[in-house]
């Protein structure tokens, strides 16, 4: 399964260059020339990764694209592509998983993308969320099976509780009956007559 990446940048030269590099490396690539177009494509297709520029039609356009990606049900990896220096805490606060600084050597760029996708998929797998290796349908089936199993266990537990109460009641009744039988069979101890005290003869 070819992994799909969305590139968002208002510089056409950057889009075409990155698209060519990534497609040669085996990725399926879509492009968007503005933040608005990028958000629209995130809503119409599913992507394994988003790479977006920071400043496009306005300074916060990249942040809007990142927010749309983080809100998507398919959980893509998110990388911020920029030529401007950004503090690590700042781009992480924006919601990006990685910062890609342009220009960048092709080999380093590809390695960073591969590493990010791999680490992101491991995180998704731990959370039981769909990855490029696990189709969403398979995850839904697994979740449904777990739910059915839990319901079956609850039903068994509920069924066992009345049975256990009945068994306990029967045991108490048996003990009570046994005590009554023992009481009936036990011989009564006869009391010896007390000696009468007579007056002494004179």
pLDDT, one tens digit per residue, over 139-149 is: 444 445 555 55
- Of the candidates 5, 87, 121, the residue with the CA atom closest to the CA atom of residue 52: 5
Arithmetic mean of pLDDT, 159-180: 61
Summarize pLDDT for 77-97 with one digit per residue, the tens. 999 998 887 888 888 889 999
Average pLDDT, the chain: 79
| Spatial CB neighbours of 94, under 8 Å, sequence gap ≥ 6 | 62, 63, 66, 80
Residues 124, 131: contact at Cβ < 8 Å?
Answer: yes
Distance CA 50, CA 38 (A): 9
For residue 184, what are the CA distances in angstroms to 119, 134, 175, 180, 188?
79, 74, 14, 6, 10
């Amino acid at each position: 399964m070819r992994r799909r990446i969305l590139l968002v940048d208002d510089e056409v030269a950057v889009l075409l260059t990155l698209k060519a590099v990534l497609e040669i490396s085996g990725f399926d690539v879509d492009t968007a020339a503005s933040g608005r177009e990028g958000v629209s494509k995130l809503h119409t297709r599913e992507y394994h990764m988003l790479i977006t520029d920071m400043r496009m039609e306005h300074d916060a356009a990249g942040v809007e694209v990142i927010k749309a990606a983080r809100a998507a049900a398919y959980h893509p990896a998110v990388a911020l592509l920029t030529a401007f220096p950004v503090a690590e805490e700042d781009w992480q606060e924006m919601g990006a998983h990685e910062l890609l600084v342009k220009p960048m050597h092709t080999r380093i760029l590809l390695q960073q993308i591969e590493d990010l996708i791999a680490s992101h998929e491991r995180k998704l797998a731990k959370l039981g969320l769909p990855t490029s290796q696990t189709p969403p349908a398979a995850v839904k089936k697994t979740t449904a099976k777990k739910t059915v199993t839990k319901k079956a266990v609850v039903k068994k537990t509920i069924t066992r509780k009345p049975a256990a109460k009945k068994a306990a009641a029967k045991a108490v009744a048996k003990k009570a009956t046994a005590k009554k039988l023992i009481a009936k069979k036990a011989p009564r101890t006869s009391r010896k007559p007390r000696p009468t005290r007579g007056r002494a003869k004179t």
